[in-house]
Amino acid sequence: MFLMSLIASIGLCLVTALPVAAQTENSPQLQILYAGKDINIGTVSLYNDADHLYVEYTVNSPWLMNESHLHAACSAAEIPQTGASGKGRGKGTASGGNPVLGHFDYQGEHDPPVSTYSYSIDLNKSGFTPGDEIYLAAHAAVTDQDAQKESAWAASEGPGTMPFPGKNWATYFTYTIQEPSNNVEPDEYYELTMYGNVKNIGSGFRVKELATDPNNVEVTFSGTIDASGLQENGAVLIGLLDKKYVDEGNQGWMGGAYVYFGRIGNDLRVGLTDGNFNGEIVSDFKTYTGYFAAPSDIYFTLEIHNGNITVTLGPESYVDSYGEIKDLNNTTAYTWDEFEYGAYIGIDTWPYGTGGTNDVAYDIFVNWPQ
């Protein structure tokens, strides 16, 4: 991995409320990198410490990067774009608004081509401070094994979201500078990769035989879901189940902490819950209106720790608490506190068996401190 430290001269930015869950090296904000408008070829990950914002490009085989370009600014208009004449650093008009890569503050030519490349932005010299919402354009010139050349842009939430105003398909996204944590990051983590399709689960939930303790350590899930194969009223659940409840031979998400992907008509609902006793209860969620008319991968980050569940979808975070549904509805299911004896990592789908099959692919990385 290469690392380039560059300096940008940028003015004051809009200060927004800091997200509940801060991005870290082990739990960065991720944007999907799309080539040829809608080909998912990798990610652009971001996190900051007290001094730098780190931006890492990663492309998946068979693609490699020949060039990369990055620009960070306090507004989309400050990202270099063609003006009305089609030239220069204009702020984008009806006949301009195409990004000018040659004027981006961070650039790299990669010979030989690379699969990973990183930039480090000096926060002090750039003028970015905690709470600032900044706008970034991340571009890569890529080639696959058949010498097919494409231009790739990181998008906010699927191909074409947050586009530049010009006649192109270039996109940008936002990131909020985080207040650095005073907590010392542990040296070692437990790690688990979950990859597959829920249609292979069959009957009952799938439990990964790895136990953790979310009451004392943060458990982070990050990855993508292709929900295009969800049937009407179908759902996929990903997260943690109460260990003792499972060990006693019970099945079902009577308690726990997880993210819920559910289909309602042509819309996809993604939200948080901590129990499905007498019906699913999703208290805080995002609706992807019309998702099933033009589906795409959904990237998410799920963090579970010390009573809270947080899911991040693009620039937005949704927060819920766990234990509440257990206390209200599941008092007869088990008497101990949620995760008092630990938690299992699990994934489930509904309906399953003869009731129907959801065809939903997932690619998820899970980690938590030792």
Cα angle value 309/313/315 (rounded, 5°): 110
Residue range 260-280, pLDDT digits in tens: 898 999 999 998 877 655 444
The CA distance from 264 to 153, in Å, is 30
- 3-state secondary structure at position 214: coil
What percentage of the chain reaches a pLDDT higher than 90?
40
Q: What is the DSSP letter of 103?
A: G
The CA distance from 307 to 325, in Å, is 12
Q: Which residues pair with 309 in a beta bridge?
A: 304, 320
Where does residue 131 rank: exposed (0-12), middle (13-18), buried (19+ CB within 10 A)? middle
The pLDDT of residue 26 is 77
The pLDDT of residue 276 is 57
Residue 287 clears pLDDT 80, i.e. is over it? yes
Which pLDDT band, with edges at 50, 70 and 90, does 160 fall under? Answer: low
Instruction: Kindly list the distances between the CA atom of residue 251 and the CA atoms of 243, 290, 333, in Å, as whole numbers in the listed order.
Output: 11, 33, 11
The pLDDT of residue 283 is 63
Shortest CA distance to 247 belongs to which of 166, 128, 129, 334?
Answer: 334
**pTM higher than the cut 0.85:** no
**194: Cβ contacts below 8 Å, ≥ 6 apart:** 208, 223, 345, 347, 362, 363, 364, 365, 366
Query: Averaged over 224-251, what is the pLDDT?
Result: 86
What is the average pLDDT score of the chain? Answer: 81
- 3-state secondary structure at position 325: helix
- DSSP string for residues in 116-177: EEEEEEEHHHHT--TTEEEEEEEEEEEE-TT--EEEEEEESSSTTSSB-SSSS--B-EEEEP
- Residue 39, Cα to own-chain centre: how many angstroms? 17
Rg value, the chain, Cα: 22
Phi and psi angles of residue 246, each rounded to the nearest 5 degrees, phi first: -70, -40
List domains and CATH numbers for the chain. Answer: 2-176 (2.60.40), 189-369 (2.60.120.200)
The pLDDT of residue 147 is 86
**37: Cβ contacts below 8 Å, ≥ 6 apart:** 159, 160, 169
Where does residue 184 rank: exposed (0-12), middle (13-18), buried (19+ CB within 10 A)? exposed
Residue 204 clears pLDDT 80, i.e. is over it? no
221 in Cβ contact with 365 (< 8 Å) = yes
Helical H segments across the chain, by residue range: 123-126, 243-247, 324-329
The pLDDT of residue 282 is 57
The pLDDT of residue 4 is 37
The pLDDT of residue 190 is 80
Residue 211 clears pLDDT 90, i.e. is over it? no
Shortest CA distance to 191 belongs to which of 215, 214, 212?
Answer: 212
Candidate from 71-80, 137-146, 246-255 with smallest mean pLDDT: 246-255
The pLDDT of residue 78 is 95
Which pLDDT band, with edges at 50, 70 and 90, does 358 fall under? Answer: confident
Specify the residue for token string 């400050």.
78
Question: Does residue 28 have a cis peptide bond before it, meaning omega lies within 30 degrees of 0?
Answer: no
The pLDDT of residue 308 is 87
Shortest CA distance to 325 belongs to which of 277, 265, 269, 263?
Answer: 277
